Amino acid sequence: MRMPPLRIVFLGSDPIARPLLDWLVGEGATVAEVAGVFTQPDRPAGRGQQVRPNAIKAWAEARALPVLQPERLTPEVTAQLAAFRPDLGLVMAYGHLLRDDFLAVPRLGMLNLHTSLLPALRGASPIQTAVALGLRETGVSLMQIVRRLDAGPVADRERVAIGALDTALEVEAQLAAACVPLVARCLPALARGELGFAVQDEAAVTHCRKLTKEDGALDFARPAVELAARINGLFPWPGCSAALGSERLKLGLADVLEALPSVPPATPGSVAGSDATGLLVWTGAGLLRLRRLQRPGGRMLPAGDFLRGFPVPLGAIFASQPMPALLVPSRPPPTH
């Protein structure tokens, strides 16, 4: 006998959830019904700082779904959630700390989609940090929400490979798509009361933090493999850049030259020439190949196009700056 669709309230504010939402109202409509959407209030956005709806509000309004945008989760807002009679709350990149009384409203609780393979990379920047650390795999975890950050028991994970030339932009798109099979196999099990949850291994926890523009600094005395990962992981935001003479160039894609030239290594940051795909720069260990570059006020261009308009002489030196750590110390779990 077919189970009736679960009444779901979705809570989120980031376009990464769009593929999942499209599935929920399409193929997933046999197992789930989106009863309403909670998202952040309209904010100024873009260069003109015009107040406009975020992507999740726009998606919901285009489908005539109820949308709530509370600034705070007050008791009145909890009552509004209860009025939807939800079986489940599904959360992804919402941006509010959820109170216990709010979490208790849905009959089957609240589940969160976090874009890492928990317990790795709890925190605010798991996609960028996974790429910037040079990981070759990440994923999405479906977990129960608890009062500690991303610490709840995990039901299931969907894994995503990270390619050598993937930036955070490509990995985010893959993770957005990965939410669909993860939720598609978990919702029916949840409805049947068969979805199990495993406590996270606290010994394996790592934490990433909110990124700032200062995180785009590069120290060319570090190994080329580390620099390439940082450039790719922080594209498009906050983006890596480095001063070359009087110009500060943004760097959008990089990798490591595997076959080193016969000339001896030079000062880290010095330009060693170019090949068919990039500008070559000496580092503390190996040659970094900069595949996409951008001048101030210009567009991000493939290295060949960039160098035709902005020749870079052999031996020119990119200035180094200290690179902030992307991982932060993990707090021990409470003892009570």
DSSP 58-86: HHHHHTT--EE--SS--HHHHHHHHHT--
**Is 57 within the bounds of a domain?**
yes
Same domain for 108 and 179, yes or no, is: yes
Total of domains in the chain: 2
pLDDT of residue 263: 67
pTM of the model: 0.95
Indicate the helix (H) or strand (E) that contains 207: strand 207-208
**Is 59 within the bounds of a domain?**
yes
Same domain for 171 and 298, yes or no, is: no
Q: Which two tokens stand for residue 124?
A: 């605010």
Same domain for 245 and 194, yes or no, is: no
Domain membership of residue 55 as a residue range: 6-207
Same domain for 34 and 156, yes or no, is: yes
Q: What is the mean pLDDT of residues 81-105?
A: 95
Q: What is the mean pLDDT of residues 140-149?
A: 95
Same domain for 123 and 96, yes or no, is: yes
**Is 322 within the bounds of a domain?**
no
Same domain for 266 and 228, yes or no, is: yes
**Is 329 within the bounds of a domain?**
no
Cα 77 → chain centroid: 28
**Is 314 within the bounds of a domain?**
no
Q: How far apart are CA 234 and CA 333, in angstroms?
A: 30
pLDDT of residue 169: 98
Which of these ranges, 45-49, 126-130, 192-196, 292-296, has the smallest mean pLDDT? 45-49
Indicate if the pLDDT at residue 331 is higher than 90. Answer: no
DSSP 138-203: EEEEEEE--SSTT-S-EEEEEEEE--TT--HHHHHHHHHHHHHHHHHHHHHHHHTT----B---GG
More confident residue, 334 or 233: 233
**Is 336 within the bounds of a domain?**
no
pLDDT of residue 61: 97
Same domain for 235 and 156, yes or no, is: no
The predicted-structure confidence for 29-56, as pLDDT tens digits, reads as follows 999 999 999 999 998 876 777 878 899 9
Q: Which two tokens stand for residue 89?
A: 């709350």
**Is 318 within the bounds of a domain?**
no
Q: What is the mean pLDDT of residues 236-256?
A: 97
pLDDT of residue 97: 86
pLDDT of residue 50: 81
Question: Residue 305: which CATH number?
Answer: 3.10.25.10
Question: Residue 124: which CATH number?
Answer: 3.40.50.170
What lies within 8 Å, CB to CB, of 66 at 6+ separation is 35, 36, 37, 60, 84
Same domain for 193 and 222, yes or no, is: no
Indicate if the pLDDT at residue 99 is higher than 80. Answer: yes
**Is 84 within the bounds of a domain?**
yes
Domain boundary among 148, 177, 207: 207
Indicate if the pLDDT at residue 335 is higher than 60. Answer: no
Same domain for 278 and 200, yes or no, is: no
Same domain for 234 and 177, yes or no, is: no
Q: What is the mean pLDDT of residues 101-121?
A: 97
Q: How far apart are CA 287 and CA 266, in angstroms?
A: 10
pLDDT of residue 153: 98
Same domain for 289 and 156, yes or no, is: no
Same domain for 74 and 162, yes or no, is: yes
pLDDT of residue 43: 85
Where does the pLDDT of residue 264 fall: very low under 50, low under 70, confident under 90, or very high at 90 and above?
low
Where does the pLDDT of residue 333 fall: very low under 50, low under 70, confident under 90, or very high at 90 and above?
low
Q: What is the mean pLDDT of residues 189-214?
A: 97
